[in-house]
Amino acid sequence: MKLHNIFLLIFVALWRPTTQHIFLNKFYGNYQEQLRTQDEIHSAKYEYEIKTINMPIDHFSFSKVDTFKLRYLVNNTWQKEENAPIFFYTGNEGNIETFAQNTGFMWEIAPEFGALLIFAEHRYYGESMPYGNKSYANINNLGYLTSQQALADYIDLIEYLRSKPEYKHSPVVVFGGSYGGMLSAWIRMKYPHIIQGAIASSAPILQFSGVTECETFARIVTSDFRKAHSNCPKLIRKSWNTITNITSSDKGKEWLSEDWKLCKPLKNETDVKQFKSYLEDVYANLAVVNYPYKANFLAPLPAYPVNAVCKHLTNESLSGTELLTAVHKAINVFTNYTSETKCLDLNNSTPQLDAVGWPFQSCTEMVMPMCSDGVNDMFEPNPWNLDEYSKECMKKFSVTPQSNLVCEQYGCKDLSTATNIIFSNGLMDPWSSGGVLQNLSSSAIAIIIPESAHHLDLRSSEINDPYSVILARKYHRYFIKQWIKEHREKEGKLH
């Protein structure tokens, strides 16, 4: 089959996304917090050398001279010659070792390309703390946590690598998933003279005010659950009022606390609100990691965990305590799949201190509206209110959100000048609502993966991978070869 015909099969952008949705901060913080703990759960699958490099705390000032050590991981096992391709992972908001362990695609293709692997840690995450244990102490210390500063870190690291004779003419291809995918896209857009190409998987670069609709994420989560069973989202939607009614009495709170084996019993409305928030987080988590095989990414989970959850929520007539007991059994797929959890700790769904970085970013430049209407989705109605959001940000961090900053810095509505970027999005992934779902230019390509959840194409190959995921990886390799070829032809003419 000719190449352009195959493109038609996989690049089908069936619609321009007029409704897109955006990060639920409390979910995303929890998501990253759990990612950080994975290196404590499993042993390292891939080997690397850990290095550090001195970085300016402020890249854009001539008066601030403070520096810090940025951590990065290196593997040169497959490098066979000088000017080997540099495959560079643009680190997310978490410990870089976790992302190195969960980006198997880079490791799998490195031998084919004879590539040097680099995984760079994002400032203010993992061990790359500009002011040590005082990095989050106040706004003066924390104010240098921005995507612009992080991209400048990565450019400085790349330029340091290419200052060595053996890498002087090396092509650089960046990889990233989720926020890391956003960084990969942006670094290619902003520094095309340094970055030859980018694989930006599940990168919601359009999830900003004025570009997206705030409720689309919740609708995609709901769609995933509806696909598992038509009654599943109906029962979840019904459960919110049921929780409210049952917990309106002390006896009801006591019953739910005991039936669900909560570590800390529900005592008041604040506890009930936290309980509901916990459930929202779990439902979102399940949709995000709805992988076709057993995985231990956020928690030990079976293949297609949403299907496993919805097997308990098929009887539309369920109500009252019977409904909540069924929901509890369903939730156990996520919270207690291994049957080792003694009690349910609702605090586990809230970001801890070492995950505070993302909420700060979402209160400054990464302002991504989130809402639900309770009609087109399975959640309680929750409108987006920028004024209230801003008040919370001022209360937490003494900052006022700049909701237009990202679109001003990188572009949102007009990205026609973007080149050499692959935007891959799985239609099962709620984050695809803010992804690029149609080609931006002849070389800024949208790959639609119907059977994929969150950046599944960047994970290691598994026997149960859907064909669309396998095909997407083939296209990643094809375009990487093209970018490297273009770079070497250009370098040959210059030298």
According to DSSP, the residues that pair with 445 across neighbouring strands are: 422
Task: Judge contact between 125 and 136, C-beta under 8 A.
Answer: no
Answer for the pair 50, 71: CB distance below 8 angstroms, yes or no: yes
**Whole-angstrom Cα distance, residue 73 to residue 7?**
34
Catalytic residue, from 122, 454, 455, 476: name it.
Answer: 454
In terms of DSSP bridges, do strands 444-449 and 421-426 run parallel, antiparallel, or are they unpaired? parallel
- 66 within 8 A of 58, measured Cβ to Cβ: yes
Residue predicted with more confidence, 131 or 210: 131
Q: How high is the pLDDT of residue 132? A: 94
Q: What is the mean pLDDT of residues 147-158?
A: 98
Task: Tell me which of 377, 429, 457, 465 is the catalytic residue.
Answer: 429
Q: Has residue 33 got a pLDDT over 60?
A: no
Q: What is the pLDDT of residue 98?
A: 87
Residue 449: strand, helix, or coil: strand
At residue 44 the predicted structure's pLDDT band, cuts being 50, 70 and 90, is low
Share of the chain above pLDDT 70, in %: 89
CA distance 373 to 218: 9
Q: What is the pLDDT of residues 378-426, one digit of tens each?
A: 999 999 999 999 999 999 999 999 999 999 999 998 999 999 999 999 9
The one-character DSSP state at 346 is G
pLDDT tens by residue, 255-275? 999 999 999 999 999 999 999
119 - beta bridge partners?
73, 89
Query: Can 429 be counted among the known catalytic residues?
Result: yes
CA–CA separation, 465 and 446 (whole Å): 20
Annotation marks residue 178 as catalytic: yes
Structure tokens at 3: 């190449």
Mean of the pLDDT values across residues 328-351? 80
CA-to-CA distance for 402 and 400, rounded, in angstroms? 7
pLDDT mean over 443-451: 95
443: number of Cβ within 10 Å: 16
Of the listed 147, 170, 178, 349, which one is catalytic?
A: 178
- What confidence category does residue 356 fall into, taking pLDDT thresholds of 50, 70 and 90? low
